[in-house]
Amino acid sequence: MTRTLPKGIFKRGDVYAVRFSVPTELQSVVGKKEVIRSLGTKDLVEALGKRAEVLEQIKVSLFSDFEIPVTSNARTSYGTTVRETAHRWLSESDGITNGTRARYRNILARFEDYSGNCEVTKINRELALGFMDHLKSTPSQKTGQLLSHRSLSIHQICLASYWRVLEHWGLVDGDMKNPFSSLMRRLAGQRQKLDPRKKNLRPVTREEAEALLSYITGNGRLKYQQEMYLTVRLLWVTACRLGEIAGLSLSDIDDQGDHIRLRITGAKTEAGNRTVMVLGREDCELLRGAVRRAKVIEPCCPENAGLLFPSLLRGGYDRTTGHYLGKALEKARKALAMNADEWDMHSFRRSGVSALVNAGVSKEARNLAVGHSNNDDIGISVYAKRGNLSEVIKATFETLYDELGGSLSLRSVTAVRY
């Protein structure tokens, strides 16, 4: 059966592309009748989801390159009211389920009504506390009962996430504390609610890391097979965050021959902007091969030009390259059925710090390598908390034994025999 594709979408080989017809009055300026842009996917549903965004990018590119006045159909500005920003967040976020999206939409609609759809710059702690008091005293429309503690907590989580998105967009004061944080603070004498989520994630073992590599190598149907394989290799030897590897630019990769230096930029803190070195010969060759591919592969979107992984689709409200790569790696990790509830992809970072602690590397050197401030040592208290630190403990007691002069001896008294 022949499938009729939606208007403007067609296939170039196996990959879907979109066609934008240049208005007749602009064709003489642009020099072409249509603009064709790859959607970077073989899946029709995914292509349909990306179509609007890519068309908007084409329009913006045309108007900026040829200095053509922007028409009402090509506006890229967004409103700054609660209703407009909430709609933008939920329409752009692709990392939450449909059920959660619907729940958040209802919560934001309640806050919109309470705030009078105010500008987001008017949101403050007083407004947030007032809204929570309003929720506590307003019966549910479904049950007629007051909202439970769990329902109130979901409201608080949604609104706190909404504020973080507003911060990311630069619509609110970044130095202002999240007004929706700690709205459910316990009263004096109230029992602390137990968190059912496990918080004892440990470092990943070599066996588990190699099993993950084997799974990726043996599964040729993985969309990001090459990117996943190289990422796991680099996570193991650099103790980087996944997003730091996924967002690497070619200009941040400095090949020194016997090793390759990676310049990590764009971190939240100054200490996070650092230099990481790849020393293994095989790892360096893999990285060089990826650099060569990146220079000839057509990026899936303009923002990916010049990146180490130009084919990665961007996702999440902040449109990061690590969004879908992280999901793919998590899916592969869970498919191993190897203690999947005890470690995650961030456990590669835990393994790196644990290895440095066992090797006796100083706190300052560890923090310099992993990108943390030297004010506090979070190596043992956080990353290596559940790691195997037997080597450093053994070395410590060997030092203690030597400094004490060895075992006690009974030179003048007959030794007790056992």
* Residue 149 pLDDT: 85
* Residue 195 pLDDT: 53
Residues 280 and 242 in one domain: yes
Residue 360 has pLDDT above 60, yes or no: yes
102 falls within a domain: yes
* Residue 394 pLDDT: 65
Neighbours of 70 (CB within 10 A): 14
Residues 376 and 252 in one domain: yes
Give me the CATH number covering residue 237. 1.10.443.10
108 falls within a domain: yes
pTM: 0.62
174 falls within a domain: no
411 falls within a domain: no
Task: Give residue-wise pLDDT tens across range 34-62.
Answer: 788 888 888 888 888 888 888 887 777 76
111 falls within a domain: yes
Residue 414 has pLDDT above 60, yes or no: no
Residues 266 and 315 in one domain: yes
* Residue 162 pLDDT: 93
124 falls within a domain: yes
- pLDDT-based confidence at residue 321 (cuts at 50, 70, 90): very high
Where do the H-state alpha helices sit in 41-148?
A: 44-65, 82-92, 98-115, 125-137
Backbone φ/ψ region at 239: left (φ over 0), alpha (ψ -120 to 50), beta: left
* Residue 60 pLDDT: 72
Residues 265 and 155 in one domain: no
195 falls within a domain: no
Residues 305 and 264 in one domain: yes
Residues 248 and 361 in one domain: yes
88 lies in which domain range?
Answer: 82-169
- What is the percent of the chain with per-residue pLDDT over 70, rounded to a whole number? 77
61 falls within a domain: yes
Neighbours of 27 (CB within 10 A): 13
Average pLDDT score over residue span 297-320: 89
Residues 265 and 384 in one domain: yes
Nearest residue to 8 (alpha-carbon basis) of 25, 20, 16: 20
- pLDDT-based confidence at residue 389 (cuts at 50, 70, 90): low
Residues 90 and 165 in one domain: yes
Residues 106 and 70 in one domain: no
- What is the percent of the chain with per-residue pLDDT over 90, rounded to a whole number? 37
Q: Which of 169, 194, 225 is the last residue of a domain?
A: 169
Residues 215 and 252 in one domain: yes
Q: Comparing 252-256, 288-292, 312-316, which segment has the lowest mean pLDDT?
A: 312-316
- Give me the long-range contacts of 317-324 (CB less than 8 A, separation at least 24): 317/89, 317/92, 317/93, 317/95, 317/165, 317/168, 318/168, 319/92, 320/243, 320/246, 320/247, 321/243, 321/246, 321/247, 322/242, 322/243, 322/245, 322/246, 322/247, 323/94, 323/95, 324/224
When the pLDDT of each residue in the chain is averaged and rounded to a whole number, the result is: 81
Residues 61 and 89 in one domain: no
Q: Which of 19, 46, 74 is the last residue of a domain?
A: 74
Considering its fold, how many domains does the chain have in total?
3
Q: What is the DSSP letter of 280?
A: -
Residues 134 and 115 in one domain: yes
Both structure tokens of 387: 């790691």
Q: Which of 110, 143, 169 is the last residue of a domain?
A: 169
